Amino acid sequence: MDKKDILLPQHVAIIMDGNGRWAKQRGLKRTEGHKVGAEVFRTISKYCADIGIKYVTFYAFSTENWKRSKAEVTAIMNLLRRYLDEMKERVLENEEAGIHISFIGSREGMPKDIVKLMDEVECRSSDKTKTYVNLAVNYGGRAEIVKSVKEIAERVKKGEINPEDIDEDMISDGIYTANQPDPDLIIRPSGEYRLSNFLLWQSAYAELYIDDVLWPDYTPEDLDRAIEEYSKRNRRFGGV
Ligand code: FPP
């Protein structure tokens, strides 16, 4: 397919899956897979900015991932801490790439120093507009909908709105990705066919693309393939 015929999705969302299996195949600890996975996250975010994808959301840590061993949770938090720390050093690099970073998910229960770093990194990149990268950390799709519904219920309680006024836009306004378009394409590497509580509200009309490649092996060429396939799909949004 000629590059000029490719229809770029506006918003791509990626479930970074397969780190553990990748490490196991090599006789390494699972945390080694996460380490390489974090590097791939950086490469793919930059690549998305290079090719002009406006929004990219990566699933890094779910509200359910706390159930993993203490050692694995600590290792993922340390990777996140290091990435955030380095990001402050790499302001220039990110400025060149024009990447705006947001963290989606609950800050409650997260280590306080990481929350502080997240706020700093968000603040430093807040004027960038080339590509919006959302990193989902302590994120759960159902919890996100509950959060939005609770905010609406508070407004009803205060008498600001009536239950009849509640509509889809109101729920969309209360979720973490408010003001961003819904994902057009959701990619899940490592061959699993499920959403795992990722962007449940936003994924209503997303195209799904499952890839066998494990996340630490994921390359820009793999993303190109997913986009090419997306480009051939006929999206009808419930119409004919
Ligand atoms: C899923 O693979 C991956 C995770 C639960 C963690 C993903 C975390 C990272 C890529 C690092 C986060 C840090 C930054 C800076 C983005 P899995 O462990 O479920 O793999 P498996 O299904 O093969 O066991």
Which residue has a Cα nearest atom 2 of ligand 1? Answer: 17
80 lines ligand 1 (CB under 6 A): yes
The identity of residue 106, as a single letter, is S
Q: How far is the CA of 161 from the centre of ligand 1 (A)?
A: 41
Which single residue is written with the structure tokens 């309680």? 157
The encoded tokens of residue 124 equal 């430093």
Q: Which one of the listed residues 2, 5, 17, 212 is annotated catalytic?
A: 17
* Cβ 122 vs Cβ 176: under 8 Å: no
d(CA 134, CA 13): 9
d(CA 205, CA 30): 33
β-bridge partners, 139: 62
What domains can be seen in the chain, in order of their start residue?
8-142+183-231 (3.40.1180.10)
| Mean pLDDT within 34-53 | 96
Query: H or E stretch including 58?
Result: strand 55-62
The encoded tokens of residue 24 equal 């196991």
179 is catalytic: no
| Mean pLDDT within 87-99 | 73
If pLDDT is split at 50, 70 and 90, which confidence band does 239 have?
confident
Which pLDDT value is given to residue 106?
98
User: Which atom of ligand 1 lies closest to the CA of 24?
Assistant: 23
Which residue has a Cα nearest atom 5 of ligand 1? Answer: 61
pLDDT of residue 209 exceeding 70, the answer is yes
pLDDT digits 0-9 by tens, 176-206: 999 999 999 999 999 999 999 999 999 999 9
% the chain with pLDDT above 90: 86
65 is catalytic: yes
Q: Which residues touch 198 (CB under 8 Å, ≥6 apart)?
A: 13, 15, 59, 62, 136, 139, 141, 186
